[in-house]
């Protein structure tokens, strides 16, 4: 893990909002618990790609007992040090063994080219994390849960549909990366616009094949454009400021939170909510901000899922508030959900 102080050293090139404007005291992305032991772990998925995670355990674990465990996935395009570490530590403080993973092609996990979009592989990473936890002597392999944040909410659901070892499934600020790529927000993208997007992606593939170099979208630039929309401003306030900026070793600012259009287009074939009812009778908990632009995805998943299920609204929270706003994130709700179901 990179401490907050080290991260600040990277921010001379960032557009930093003032502490007053950010109300930074309410943000806690770089929280570091003194109650836990932390270990960097590495394990292979079924495609022999190395997945890297941060494993957290309470320091007071009894040596002769086994404990429930929770896998936590980061927002799409982020890394485990962004949002995931906060959730894993807060839950580990309640007696769980927790594992924050970097999805393949992101952070410290293997995968080339970097930042590649491959939702089936992301799903496999969650299943591989269950493999890893099941083999730990401290973990009760019959009590493994999963928590997906933002895009990882969809990947966690995708993993749970084919892996009954995942006994309890929770999502926070969930994105259906397939639906948002196909339809835009609130079904604002037309079929003709989608076709134009695929045509542009195909042209880009030709250019990338000829040059051998990926062409990134740069949809979250270092400096916030004056005419930026509210969603871009919201993401910029986390990923491009001291609040949440984290640049993995060997990466660059331009690479973080960035993808190619030729890669992004692969989400068109991703349908995580198809057959979501097959997860039942394992419980599902969907948490979203009542003011989140992304709340439609939690609503859609809830409508399609079978019981037991719950949709929990965090009043007045937007999408990114639930990444790191420790004063808003309903940790008690998550703790109760996993304690009852694991």
Q: Please provide the distance, in angstroms rounded to a whole number, between the alpha carbons at the two ends of the chain.
A: 28
pLDDT number for residue 17: 36
3-state secondary structure 268-327: HHCCCCCCHHHHCCCCEEEEEECCCCCHHHHHHHHHHCCCCEEEEEECCCCCCHHHHECC
Query: pLDDT tens digits, the chain, 342 residues: what are they?
Result: 333 233 333 333 333 333 334 444 589 999 999 999 999 999 999 999 999 999 999 999 998 999 999 999 999 999 999 999 999 999 999 999 999 999 999 999 999 999 999 999 999 999 999 999 999 999 999 999 999 999 999 999 999 999 999 999 999 999 999 999 999 999 999 999 999 999 999 999 999 999 999 999 988 888 999 999 999 999 999 999 999 999 888 777 767 889 999 999 999 999 999 999 999 999 999 999 999 999 999 999 999 999 999 999 999 999 999 999 999 999 999 999 999 999
Rounded distance, CA 258 to CA 203, Å? 19
Please give the DSSP secondary-structure letter assigned to residue 101. E
Q: 29-176+272-341 domain in CATH 3.40.50.1820?
A: yes
CB 97 within 8 A of CB 69: yes
CB 151 within 8 A of CB 105: no
CB atoms within 10 A of CB 209: 10
What are the residue ranges spanned by the domains of the chain? 29-176+272-341
């Amino acid at each position: 893990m990179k401490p907050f102080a080290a991260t600040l050293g990277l921010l001379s090139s960032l557009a930093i909002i003032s502490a007053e404007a950010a109300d930074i005291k309410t943000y806690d992305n770089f929280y570091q618990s003194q109650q836990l032991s932390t270990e960097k772990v590495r394990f292979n998925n079924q495609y022999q790609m190395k997945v890297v995670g941060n494993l957290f355990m309470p320091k007071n674990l009894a040596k002769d007992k086994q404990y429930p465990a929770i896998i936590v996935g980061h927002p799409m395009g982020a890394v485990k040090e962004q949002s995931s570490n906060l959730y894993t530590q807060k839950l580990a403080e309640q007696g769980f063994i927790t594992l924050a993973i970097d999805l393949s092609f992101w952070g410290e996990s293997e995968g080339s080219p970097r930042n590649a979009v491959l939702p089936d592989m992301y799903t496999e990473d969650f299943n591989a994390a269950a493999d890893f936890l099941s083999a730990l002597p401290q973990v009760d392999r019959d009590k493994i849960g999963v928590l997906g944040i933002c895009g990882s909410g969809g990947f966690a659901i995708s993993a749970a549909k084919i892996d009954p070892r995942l006994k309890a499934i929770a999502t926070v600020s969930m994105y259906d990366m397939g639906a948002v790529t196909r339809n835009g927000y609130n079904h604002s993208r037309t079929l003709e616009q989608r076709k134009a997007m695929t045509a542009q992606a195909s042209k880009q593939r030709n250019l990338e094949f000829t040059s051998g170099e990926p062409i990134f979208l740069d949809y979250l630039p270092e400096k916030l454009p004056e005419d930026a929309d509210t969603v871009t401003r919201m993401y910029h306030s986390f990923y491009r400021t001291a609040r949440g900026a984290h640049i993995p070793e060997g990466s660059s600012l331009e690479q973080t939170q960035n993808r190619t259009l030729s890669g992004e287009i692969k989400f068109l074939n991703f349908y995580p909510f198809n057959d979501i009812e097959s997860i039942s009778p394992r419980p599902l908990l969907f948490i979203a901000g009542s003011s989140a632009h992304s709340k439609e995805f939690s609503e859609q998943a809830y409508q399609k899922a079978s019981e037991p299920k719950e949709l929990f609204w965090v009043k007045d929270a937007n999408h990114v508030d639930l990444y790191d706003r420790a004063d808003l994130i309903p940790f008690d709700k998550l703790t109760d959900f996993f304690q009852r179901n694991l």
